[in-house]
Structure 1
Amino acid sequence: MKFILKLKHWQAFIFIMIGVILSNFTVENNSSVTTVIRIVGIVLYFLWPFLVGNGLYHYLPERIELNYNLFVINSGLWLTIYLAAMIISDGQGITFTGVYVLLMFYVIYAVLNYLAFPAQLLKSLEVGKKARLSDYIGDFFLVAFLPIGIWFLQSRVNKIVDNQASYNE
């Protein structure tokens, strides 16, 4: 799935916008189809950070250590819980109370980690050392607001992939 690393910014934007459109799609009088279409849209929208985090991690020098396993676990965890809540609630949303609130606090942390990892990874690859929060906070917000941020991030991803390809030749 490294195709995402080679997309142009406008292609990645279209990919993400398809996810946005599908996640807001409604089929009248058929909540099951609406839920499935919305789930596909949400997965498409949130696929970019995962694929970039996964793809760029392989370019990371061994001297720079980032917690890739936590990223993968948090990615699967928050997406699974979100999709389960969408299916159970028929797309209407759920209110968590009691002990389930603690689970939701971890899910919020998982989402933040999911968004921060590609930003930290991208900045670490650019500067050649492990990036601190103050180094990649701007990139974090670009990942968090993808339809806008993709115009700035994808070209930097392409540059890293191109540099690695020319370095390996």
Structure 2
Amino acid sequence: MINKFLNAKHWQLFTLMFGIPMLLQIVTMIFMFTDVDSNGNLDQTGVLNTFKLFPIIMFLYTGLLFGWFWSIGIGLQKFIPTDIKMKMKKFKIFFFIPLIYILFLLVIIGTTFYGFSSGNNAVGGIVGKMLFFIIPMHLFSMFCMFYLLYFVSKTIKTTELKRTVAFSDFIGEFFMIWFFPIGIWFIQPRLNKIISEKSTNGNDAKNNA
């Protein structure tokens, strides 16, 4: 799976992460605003049904984004010089905290839209009771996400330069990954090049042996 992410083309990842979800959202909005009664009012049942796609879209997007982060953070480690130590344990911890938190929120949202709870009051009660947990977890998850941006961008630059890097060396990569829909068009070709060069060098070494 890691190699599939690293070898994927930029347009493929963009289509999966943004193209398809955006298309689904557009279709959802079209159906929502065309589903009106004779008085011009939106059908509440129809609106609720269209929003059932939201948890699915977010689940797919989250899976792809975190899968991409994991593939870079883990998959490129074998290309980094052995004398350079990356904080892998910290990366893994900070990786799973926001992932679990986001999935937890999606489960709550999904139970609302798909009728597994007794209604909005039940969900509201759950959220209210866990408010003191959700707020700090949300803030800490945001911090973890910024660390993932930091670690992933640092990993890319370290792999390319083959030396210890400072934040000033990979600040460009940091912001490109932060503004992901744009940055992926520049970052992913570089990942493809890294994998291609390493594969070529590996094959040459085997042939020379």
- TM-score where L is the length of structure 2: 0.68
1:147 corresponds in structure 2 to: 181
Gapped regions of structure 1 (runs ≥ 5): none
Matched, 1:161 2:195: yes
Matched, 1:78 2:98: yes
2:75 corresponds in structure 1 to: 55
What aligned pairs does 1:98-113 form with structure 2 within 5 A after superposition? 98=132, 101-113=135-147
The percent identity for this pair of structures is: 27
In 2 relative to 1, CA 102–55 (structure 1 residues): closer, same or farther, beyond 3 Å? Answer: same
Q: How many residues align?
A: 169
Q: Partner letter of residue 67 of structure 1?
A: K
- Which stretch shows the higher mean deviation, 8-17 or 124-133? 8-17
In 2 relative to 1, CA 98–9 (structure 1 residues): closer, same or farther, beyond 3 Å? Answer: closer
- Which structure carries more helix by proportion? 2
Q: Alignment partner of 1:28: what SS?
A: helix
Structure number with larger C-alpha Rg: 2
Post-superposition Cα deviations, 1:72-99, rounded to whole Å, max 9, x if no partner, equal 221111011122123224589x798556
What aligned pairs does 1:2-151 form with structure 2 within 5 A after superposition? 2-18=3-19, 20-21=21-22, 24=25, 28-30=47-49, 34-89=54-109, 90=112, 98=132, 101-151=135-185
Contact 1:57 1:121 in 2 (8 A): yes
Q: Partner letter of residue 11 of structure 2?
A: W
| Distance in structure 1 (CA, Å) of the matches to 2:83 and 2:23 | 41
| Distance in structure 1 (CA, Å) of the matches to 2:185 and 2:52 | 34
Contact 1:115 1:140 in 2 (8 A): yes
Contact 1:5 1:157 in 2 (8 A): yes
| Distance in structure 2 (CA, Å) of the matches to 1:67 and 1:21 | 35
Cα RMSD, aligned residues only: 2.9
- Which stretch shows the higher mean deviation, 42-51 or 28-37? 28-37
Q: Alignment partner of 2:149: what SS?
A: helix
Shift of 1:149: 0.5
